[in-house]
Structure 1
Amino acid sequence: MKQKSLFTALCLLLTISTVFAQSDYFFPANARFDPKIPTPEQFLGYPIGTLHTRHDAIVGYMRELARVSDRAKLDTIGETYEHRQLVVLTVTSPENLANLDEIQAAHVRAITPPIQEEDLSDQKSIVLLGYNVHGNEPSSSEAALLTAYYYVAGRHAEVTNGLKDAVLLIDPAFNPDGRDRHSTWANSFKGDPMVSDPIDAEHNEMWPRGRTNHYWYDLNRDWLPLAHVESQARIDFYHQWYPHIVTDFHEMGTNSTYFFEPTKPFGSENPVVPRDNYDGLNNLFAGYFHESLDEIGSLYFTKEQYDNSYPGYGSTYPDIHGALGLVFEQASSRGHLQDSRMAKVAFAFTIKNHLTTSLATVRGAVGERETLVNHQRKFFRTAVEEGKKASGGWVFGDQTDEGRNGEFVDLLTRHRIKTIKLNEDITLKGKTFKAGNAFYVPNEQSQYRMVRTMFEKVTNFYDSIFYDASSWTTALTYNMPHERYTGKAVLNGETVDRSYDGGTYASVEKTDYAYLIEWDEYYAPKALNYLLNKGLYVNTAFKKFGLKTNDGDKDFGYGTLMIPVARQEVNADLVHAYIEEATELAGIRAYSAKSGYSSSGIDLGSGSFRTIRQPKALMLIGGNVSSYEAGEIWHLLDDKVGMPITKVMTSSVGRIDWSKYNTLILPSGNYSSLGKNTLDRIKQWVREGGTVITLRSATSWAVNAKFVNEKFAERPKRDVPARMDYVTSREFNGSNAIGGSMYMTDVDITHPLGFGYTQRDLPVYRNHSIFLAPTSNPFGTVVQYKENPLLGGYVNKTNLEKIGGTASLIVSGIGRGSVIMFADNPNFRGMWYGTNKLFFNALFLGNMAR
């Protein structure tokens, strides 16, 4: 009955658009406001909850608050790919604002080693109120507007006294591009009167929907990999402040209620976070949340469904930095008004719930200030102590790929993990890490728990159900050679910072014969793409060889690029200029050869050099294609290769002129809707020499649809008891899912799709139950799971026994063309640098893979 009365009040609110109606509906009864401060409604021209507010208007209102108030200032911390501003509104007392730099410096000093047992009674609660990381979960940004107004304009004691003890950092939209995509949709389809029918277009966005950013990435998974500019800017800001509390507001299914932490005990918690975070802080703050929601009659649930495991969440990353990360989930109206199983869910009601817990968060931060301050200081002090007790650290470095080294070092330094470039060689467990390409991460540092996150492999868990990934060992995602160092000797070298780029570019001596570029460099495809765009003929080596170069005698591996000079359509000076430009762009080296006569292996005129075909690629999108995987491919090619890719909606396939393309990419999805005629046309195109690349469920579709003559491996048979209690069904079914774990495979480094790898061991990520059989062609299984392959994460025993020996990547021939089939996603979340090369090879060398 309370929810129905709330809805009745809402309808009245939407009819009477006055400042007082808004205040009475959203804010506590005792709230009093400065009339000189404009309300959101006065600034926007409409009541909150009656439209979805565009991001530029959100920023405009925050800027206006900073202009008219001595409690607030606005900082721009970055911008999105679509050039929307990322802003943070700082709100505190006028006295604190005037002394903000010292407050910030004193706070950071208190948690920076060596950590002193000093009096922290003057410390402020630093609260980062973060909103709207998923663009089509929009209620929280509207709540951010009301929260900002509440603390900037509030005259009552809760606000004026609270701001003396707290600094609020209000980030109104973590994902502005996705938000505006959704807001435009919802506003465009809003009816008058409003339509609450769930099937209405307003509640059902078109692909790719507004959840993700410009490149269709879920930014709430990006706090660890930092693949995107929004996350990079946010992490830089985060480490300037190290807040005590970070909020992460979301929306869930319309038929739900409201969720706040604690999450599911033990099974959903991150293994490096101390227990007092979960047993102490989470339960302490739950009291503030349930009291505030009880007061307005809102239903809620806790301790189930959501987890705190994966470090890339906005609610988990803070936990690994001595803060309290808090996730909130509100039943979504996915528009302005929608039917649910209990009552209609109105946009304004969803906003009110998030506003209510926003205010409760600040009340808790003020009331528990000393607890928060002491918890964070203890967190970093014990991190250093535990790191010292663990002793040693981790040595890493790829001896042939400085580009990948540079990217990994950049990630570590962005996370403020101390990293040392060693000035001496070191050998650990038979692996030699040579100075120049060897790095050391000591355990004894304040970021020890992030060090564990990057390097530790975890396979033992309290639970068998995971909302997301159960493994995130970042060194594995980069395929980064690494070993634990347990020695007593101090490893010497220079501490690196963000200025380290790992590039090896050096001007190459001009030659009239040939240039060579090693393919084992991560950014070699970027140089190759540049050269192909300039019209040069580029060849790749199918066998190893040794040759005298401008840098002396040198050995070259599989996939080495060879660019002859005399047979090009431009003169030698221009060839040299293009080589210089390509290698400088990619940050890699080229070598010049004055003779094609090798000292070992093949000569440069050998038939074992094959000419590379410039990819002319298109990717199908829309329909039921995975926008995540499509976005990962799009971003990879834009960011790492500089190569445009044509994106075609599945509904427009009939308009494609197939003669313009030689490569078709099918991300996860079911393509049966294309129809028999279209599929027959694609198959004929493959027979004529085209290359199809399928990922995950697209591979499964290709097998099921008989598009290729391949098979699945035998699926594991579940041992199901004759009778079980119904309440255990979710746990039983969840334990049989493969939700995201890491495995070791064997890659054929002599195969064109394996070119550039110097070791056969290759970690891969698996979050599916596709068991792909090795192809019948003995040379066509490029990547195969090893026996007992588990590296990290959860998988039940039955599934693990069946994974070993199955295929991760195969090539299936059709006529003169081929279908390159990935059982796994080599580009997952923009952090799998180790398997990206497989995809690059499929793109540039796929037509040679037969």
Structure 2
Amino acid sequence: MLKKLLLLVLFCGSTLYGQDYFFKKFHPFNADIPSPEEFLGYGIGEHHTRHDLIVAYLEKLAEVSERASIHYYGKTHEGRKLVILTITSPENLSNLDELKRQHLAFTNPDNNASNYDDVPIFINLAYNVHGNEPSSSEAALLTAYTFAASNNPEILGYLNNAVIFIDPTINPDGRDRHTQYANSYQGNPLVADPQDAEHNEYWPGGRTNHYWFDLNRDWLLGINPESRGKLTWYHEWYPNVVTDFHEMGTQSTYFFEPMKANGSLDPIMPKENYEDLNNMFGEQFAKALDSIGSFYFTKEAFDGTYPGYGSSYPDLQGGLGLLFEQASSRGHKQTTAFGEITFPFTIRNQYTSGITTVKTAVKNKAYMRKYQQDFFKSAISRASKSKIKGYTFNDAHDQNRTKAFIDKLLLHNIEVYKSNDTYVVPTKQPQYRMVQTMFETYSKYRDSVYYDASAWSVGNFYNMKYKPTTSLNLGDRITTTKDLIQVSPVEKSNYAYIIDWDDYNAPAALNYLQKNGLTISSSFKPFTTKVGPDSKSFNYGALVIPVSLQKKDADATYKLIQAAQKEFQVPMFGVNSGFNLNGIDLGSRFISPIKKPKIAMLIGDGVRSYEAGEVWHLLDNRVHMPITKIPMRNFDKIKIDSYKTLVMVSGKYKFTDKQQDKIKTWVGKGNTLITIGTASKWAIDKKLVKEKLTKPEKDTLAIATRKPYVDSDENLGKESVGGVILKMDIDTTHPLAFGYHDNAIPVYKNNTVWLTPSKNEYATVGKYAKEPHIDGFLTTKNMKQYVKPSASLIVSKVGSGRVILFADNPNFRGSWYGTNRLFLNALFLGDKIKVPSRE
């Protein structure tokens, strides 16, 4: 019995010591509230904690603590809960609605209140946007416990003066993917060798969400439910301070702001934000980390230029976004050049920074609140000084793409109006800086090396025809996209139906009808026909559904047509004659049946998971069409002849000669290979196609000018293409460009794949325009030697088949609605492309 008691004392002692490693200074704690260790059955840092257990613990705190309540703001693609734990004093919590009203008053530009110190400061501690950067979610558990259970006077003071929103896991799907991996390979004793499996995840890793999207790039774009839920919550609360916790390479230390200087020539966020506020908080982070002996660095890395990070989006909402980067243990313990780094050590740094964020925000709450008030007031004053009073836009040919763009504007609380047949966004509104983000383009920059994109004018993502205006006629305000689209109901026909291919949702409607057994053709020339009493012109690609040629009767066919129109809101028309008013007739040889696509995509080691995920997401969520994802490790086993189309996104492909021949033989049989980015370069390098890469002439006599070694990273880095928007000139008569009306469309480039226009005069579908720059940083050298001479999209003949080579990613971050059609045309119409030649 004595032995058992002794063991119990030793166990409790080690438990207490484990907890004290993190929060010794915040004793005493309420014994009625379980610590994370008591709840989980293991000490924080001993294992990686699953998201469901994280949620369960926060739910427990909300149940037993009078300081806490829990809110569910959505679910992930895989159905995991997205939660926020609100923690403050019991008095504040019971009066939260009134405090919220008082807080939001300072975001109203018309509010002149000066009681800045009377309202608690609103702080959002947000964690783990990258799933395989796990230390921060563990720190979230410790932080939640500290504020829910500590009776230390310091903590009680923070609770009286702050409302703290803890978002423990922004990316639950990615976190659980990584958690399962790390725990599966955890050794006992722990293995610190960097080459151990525990420290080297399998493809695609846990960084990304279900569709392999980087959610730390999605705040601006709002494609995924994780981001859309958080944005909806954000615009309900407008927190004053927001944290963004990350991990970086194991061989580093710890980073906190201030960052590297913003790369924009004239940043739209206030200078006070990225200078005064960052330094004010940075000084406190330094003191806190000094006190526990942790090393760190600031200013020399990262930048907040792109507005879609968790650490930059709040800066455009009157708050302060704060980035933290912790050297990762990539598992539970790993050897570095500085010794061993452990999981608990990484957690303690994140925990310390979180507590310090609250401390500093509370200390400066009046300053932060006045800053937010001034931010929204300055939005109105800045807009008033601008000659541009608003932006008008619309695309009469494509209501669904226009609707998607309006949805994006509304997601960011941007005011949108409908005036006759035009949509209007005024600049004079609280979200003026977000209006700038959506529409403004730039050609001059302060910096030349970017952590991410240097171009993000979202209107161009959607190929939206917009223009600035100096006068306004607002019309009616739009608050929802529900019922925004007006499509005339299709009338029944016993002869044929025509579907307008111009609409973004037309491929989804086509897939739906093919899936339900209808035979559908595509028009390879335009025509004008009679629809009821009126004439109607149809563009290249219009879908023709002859009623008499279907296996279903006329009534069943009509019901399917109606169902497709109701689901996808695409213009559809019944016609009673094949004799058209102008152009080809409906029985023309230029109207050709479309086969139902059977598509596969290579994934796995060497493949760029972001791009693969973007293809998967597009087909799943917008076209509702399956795609077979084939791991590279299974390539030798697959029966490739089962597929008519194969997609290869960017990657480092290491095929054997036999595997390469397998692909070339398959294409030559009449099939379609679609390559994107570096996969297109691979196809050229391996001579799968007879195309070339753009290579400028080298001056063999030129002598290199000596430059300082310390500047090498900056000088060489600027030659990369981090992300720019270019103008592409397309051949609208080509099947890949069906659905477009204008020859000039924006395209996104974030690689250095430069295609030489094909020698075949009919094969270059898209070439960069003579004056190609729209937005973003690009060196004069790149523009002159690479962009202007190059093509963006080529079709190359291989036997009876073809390779469709995209130099640029048409599906970038799930947001390029304007170029998605090029890719979807490749899927649905690729087998119809006969590359003409004189051979």
Shift of 1:720: 7.7
Give the counterpart letter for 2:268 in structure 1.
Answer: V
Give the counterpart letter for 1:370 in structure 2.
Answer: A
Tell whether 2:311 aligns with 1:315. yes
> Could you list the runs of 5+ residues in structure 1 that have no partner in the other structure?
1-13, 424-434
Shift of 1:115: 2.6
Partner in structure 2 of residue 706 of structure 1: 687
Partner in structure 2 of residue 468 of structure 1: 452
Partner in structure 2 of residue 790 of structure 1: 773
Shift of 1:758: 0.6
SS in 2 for 1:699: helix
RMSD: 1.5
More moved, 548-557 vs 630-639: 548-557
Shift of 1:537: 1.3
User: Is contact 1:503–1:588 with CA below 8 Å preserved after alignment?
Assistant: no
Measure the CA separation in 2 of the matches of 1:662 and 1:837.
Answer: 19
Measure the CA separation in 1 of the matches of 2:194 and 2:373.
Answer: 48
Measure the CA separation in 1 of the matches of 2:504 and 2:106.
Answer: 40
User: Is contact 2:106–2:372 with CA below 8 Å preserved after alignment?
Assistant: no
Matches within 5 A, 1:183-194: 183-194=179-190
Measure the CA separation in 1 of the matches of 2:234 and 2:28.
Answer: 32
Shift of 1:267: 3.1
User: Is contact 1:73–1:90 with CA below 8 Å preserved after alignment?
Assistant: yes
Correspondent of 1:338 among 326, 334, 339: 334
SS in 1 for 2:795: strand
Partner in structure 1 of residue 5 of structure 2: none
Partner in structure 2 of residue 5 of structure 1: none
Correspondent of 2:124 among 103, 128, 134: 128
Partner in structure 2 of residue 636 of structure 1: 618
Partner in structure 2 of residue 726 of structure 1: 709
Tell whether 2:783 aligns with 1:800. yes
Measure the CA separation in 1 of the matches of 2:703 and 2:85.
Answer: 55
Shift of 1:531: 1.1
Measure the CA separation in 1 of the matches of 2:95 and 2:276.
Answer: 32
Correspondent of 1:273 among 269, 276, 296: 269
Measure the CA separation in 2 of the matches of 1:479 and 1:165.
Answer: 47
Partner in structure 2 of residue 695 of structure 1: 676
Partner in structure 2 of residue 439 of structure 1: 423
User: Is contact 1:404–1:521 with CA below 8 Å preserved after alignment?
Assistant: yes
SS in 1 for 2:337: coil
Matches within 5 A, 1:761-840: 761-802=744-785, 803-840=787-824
Partner in structure 1 of residue 4 of structure 2: none
Residues 687-738 of structure 1 deviation map (CA, whole Å, 9 limit, x = unaligned): 1111000000000111001111110112476988431111110111112111
Correspondent of 1:165 among 150, 161, 166: 161
Shift of 1:552: 1.9
Measure the CA separation in 2 of the matches of 1:19 and 1:811.
Answer: 65
Partner in structure 2 of residue 756 of structure 1: 739
Measure the CA separation in 1 of the matches of 2:299 and 2:264.
Answer: 9
Shift of 1:795: 0.6
Shift of 1:413: 0.4
Seen in structure 2, the aligned counterparts of structure 1 residues 551 and 257 have a Cα distance that, compared at 3 Å, is: farther
Measure the CA separation in 1 of the matches of 2:371 and 2:679.
Answer: 48
Tell whether 2:188 aligns with 1:204. no
Shift of 1:507: 2.6
Correspondent of 2:22 among 22, 26, 29: 26
Correspondent of 2:219 among 202, 207, 223: 223
Partner in structure 2 of residue 415 of structure 1: 412
* TM-score (norm: length of structure 1): 0.95
SS in 2 for 1:475: helix
Measure the CA separation in 2 of the matches of 1:615 and 1:36.
Answer: 61
SS in 1 for 2:391: strand
Correspondent of 2:657 among 656, 666, 676: 676
Shift of 1:659: 2.8
Partner in structure 2 of residue 590 of structure 1: 572
Partner in structure 2 of residue 432 of structure 1: none
Partner in structure 2 of residue 538 of structure 1: 520
Seen in structure 2, the aligned counterparts of structure 1 residues 720 and 751 have a Cα distance that, compared at 3 Å, is: farther
More moved, 529-538 vs 329-338: 529-538
Residues 525-584 of structure 1 deviation map (CA, whole Å, 9 limit, x = unaligned): 000001111121111111111000137210111111111111111111111111111122
Tell whether 2:548 aligns with 1:552. no
Partner in structure 2 of residue 741 of structure 1: 724
Partner in structure 2 of residue 254 of structure 1: 250
Give the counterpart letter for 1:264 in structure 2.
Answer: K
User: Is contact 2:265–2:445 with CA below 8 Å preserved after alignment?
Assistant: no
Residues 369-420 of structure 1 deviation map (CA, whole Å, 9 limit, x = unaligned): 0110000000000001111222510001111100001000000001000000
Seen in structure 2, the aligned counterparts of structure 1 residues 47 and 268 have a Cα distance that, compared at 3 Å, is: farther
Partner in structure 2 of residue 76 of structure 1: 72
Partner in structure 2 of residue 648 of structure 1: 630
More moved, 648-657 vs 14-23: 14-23
Matches within 5 A, 1:602-613: 602-613=584-595
Seen in structure 2, the aligned counterparts of structure 1 residues 552 and 720 have a Cα distance that, compared at 3 Å, is: farther
Measure the CA separation in 1 of the matches of 2:12 and 2:186.
Answer: 19
Shift of 1:822: 0.2
Measure the CA separation in 1 of the matches of 2:731 and 2:14.
Answer: 70
Seen in structure 2, the aligned counterparts of structure 1 residues 551 and 224 have a Cα distance that, compared at 3 Å, is: farther
Tell whether 2:337 aligns with 1:355. no
User: Is contact 1:550–1:591 with CA below 8 Å preserved after alignment?
Assistant: no
Measure the CA separation in 2 of the matches of 1:100 and 1:619.
Answer: 50
Measure the CA separation in 2 of the matches of 1:200 and 1:603.
Answer: 67
> Could you list the runs of 5+ residues in structure 2 that have no partner in the other structure?
1-9, 835-839
Give the counterpart letter for 1:418 in structure 2.
Answer: E
Tell whether 2:36 aligns with 1:40. yes
Partner in structure 2 of residue 666 of structure 1: 648
Give the counterpart letter for 1:409 in structure 2.
Answer: I
Correspondent of 2:49 among 48, 53, 64: 53
Give the counterpart letter for 2:479 in structure 1.
Answer: D
Shift of 1:452: 0.1
Matches within 5 A, 1:4-23: 18-23=14-19
Seen in structure 2, the aligned counterparts of structure 1 residues 226 and 269 have a Cα distance that, compared at 3 Å, is: farther
Measure the CA separation in 1 of the matches of 2:13 and 2:482.
Answer: 56
User: Is contact 2:260–2:302 with CA below 8 Å preserved after alignment?
Assistant: yes
Shift of 1:458: 1.3
Measure the CA separation in 1 of the matches of 2:320 and 2:125.
Answer: 12
User: Is contact 2:262–2:304 with CA below 8 Å preserved after alignment?
Assistant: no
Partner in structure 1 of residue 63 of structure 2: 67
Correspondent of 2:544 among 562, 573, 586: 562
Measure the CA separation in 1 of the matches of 2:377 and 2:705.
Answer: 52
User: Is contact 1:551–1:591 with CA below 8 Å preserved after alignment?
Assistant: no
More moved, 299-308 vs 678-687: 678-687
Partner in structure 2 of residue 622 of structure 1: 604
Shift of 1:233: 0.2
Shift of 1:32: 2.2
Give the counterpart letter for 2:414 in structure 1.
Answer: I
SS in 1 for 2:548: coil
Residues 812-835 of structure 1 deviation map (CA, whole Å, 9 limit, x = unaligned): 011111100000000000111000
Residues 3-31 of structure 1 deviation map (CA, whole Å, 9 limit, x = unaligned): xxxxxxxxxxx998743112321114353
Correspondent of 2:560 among 564, 578, 593: 578
